[in-house]
């Protein structure tokens, strides 16, 4: 058996002491909703349960902070929580975030893919690779790519805007092709777009 003591900390933090020794820190909302009080007697089972809930709460709060900065995939967020010392309770926190709709790989994947397409002008293959790097599942990646529109005119416009000056020499053309392949465009897409650019010049 252990005696629980509550000690106010900074902001909304509450330090939990067991038999007068510091054990863990929780937030005041958690303490209130959990019904914790000074001189509460906890047996080993109750103590283990409390520790698990505190860890899950801390992981949930940290994950919420990370999601407030930007959207994350499930795998990416789980890795960050573990790296930052919130491994205990991380998976429970993730499930709660998903149940609240705060964490959704399908939504993340589509937003991320649209950003890569709009801002970085990546092609289908590069977007697919970046989604896999974020830990998005194969099915979600496939569904996401089906929702994107890959316009041939967009690639033509990109070449005219960014690479037109390089197309005067064979070496320049090769560099352009290599750069566009790294951006995720197939050789066939690049060839057709280059042909169209040359016809327009």
Position 127 in a domain = yes
CA-to-CA dists, residue 2 to 8, 19, 47, 143, angstroms: 19, 6, 8, 52
Instruction: Say if CB 60 and CB 96 are below 8 A apart.
Output: yes
* Residue 50, domain member (yes or no): no
The CATH number assigned to the domain holding 80 equals 1.10.10
Q: Is residue 33 part of a domain?
A: yes
Is the alpha carbon torsion for 47, 48, 52, 53 positive or negative? negative
Same domain flag for 99 and 111: no
Q: What is the pTM of this model?
A: 0.80
**Residue 91's domain spans which residues?**
55-103
Residue 161 to residue 164: CA distance in whole angstroms: 7
- Give the number of domains in the chain: 4
Q: How far is it, in rounded angstroms, from Cα 173 to Cα 167? A: 5
C-alpha to C-alpha distance for 25 and 50, rounded to whole angstroms: 11
Place of tokens 């005119």: 153
DSSP string, 94-155: HHHHHHTTS--HHHHHHHHHHHHHHHS---HHHHHHHHHHTT--HHHHHHHHHHS---HHHH
How far is residue 153's CA from residue 196's CA, in Å, rounded to a whole number?
9
| pLDDT tens per residue across all 201 residues of the chain | 889 989 888 888 899 898 988 988 888 888 888 888 888 898 889 989 988 899 999 999 999 999 999 999 999 999 999 999 988 889 999 999 999 999 999 999 999 999 999 999 999 999 999 999 999 999 999 999 999 998 888 999 999 999 988 888 999 999 999 999 999 999 999 999 999 888 765
Q: Are residues 194 and 157 in the same domain?
A: yes
Q: Judge whether 178 lies within some domain.
A: yes
29 within some domain = yes
Residue 59 CA to residue 88 CA, distance in Å, equals 8
Assigned domain for 47 exists: no
The answer to whether residues 162 and 188 belong to one domain is: yes
Residue 49 domain-assigned (yes or no): no
Distance of CA 183 to the CA centre of its chain: 21
Tracing tokens 């566009």 back to the chain, one arrives at 180
- Confirm if 30 and 57 have CB atoms less than 8 A apart: yes
Same domain, 158 and 174: yes
Rg of the Cα atoms in the chain = 26
Task: Tell me how long the chain is.
Answer: 201
- Looking at residue 23, its pLDDT comes to 87
Q: Are 167 and 137 within one domain?
A: no
């Amino acid at each position: 058996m252990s005696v629980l003591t509550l000690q106010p900390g900074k902001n909304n933090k509450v330090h939990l002491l067991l038999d007068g020794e510091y054990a863990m820190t929780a937030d005041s909302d958690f303490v209130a909703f959990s019904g914790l009080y000074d001189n509460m007697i906890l047996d080993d089972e109750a103590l283990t349960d409390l520790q698990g809930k505190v860890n899950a709460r801390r992981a949930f709060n940290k994950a919420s902070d990370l999601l407030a900065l930007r959207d994350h995939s499930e795998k990416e967020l789980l890795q960050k929580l573990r790296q930052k010392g919130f491994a205990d309770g991380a998976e429970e926190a993730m499930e709660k975030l998903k149940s609240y709709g705060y964490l959704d790989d399908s939504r993340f994947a589509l937003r991320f893919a649209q950003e890569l397409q709009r801002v970085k002008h990546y092609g289908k293959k590069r977007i697919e690779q970046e989604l896999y790097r974020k830990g998005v599942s194969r099915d979600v990646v496939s569904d996401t790519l089906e929702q994107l529109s890959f316009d041939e005119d967009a690639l033509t416009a990109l070449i005219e805007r960014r690479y037109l000056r390089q197309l005067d020499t064979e070496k320049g053309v090769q560099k352009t092709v290599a750069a566009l392949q790294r951006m995720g465009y197939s050789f066939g897409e690049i060839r057709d777009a280059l042909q169209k650019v040359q016809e327009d010049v």
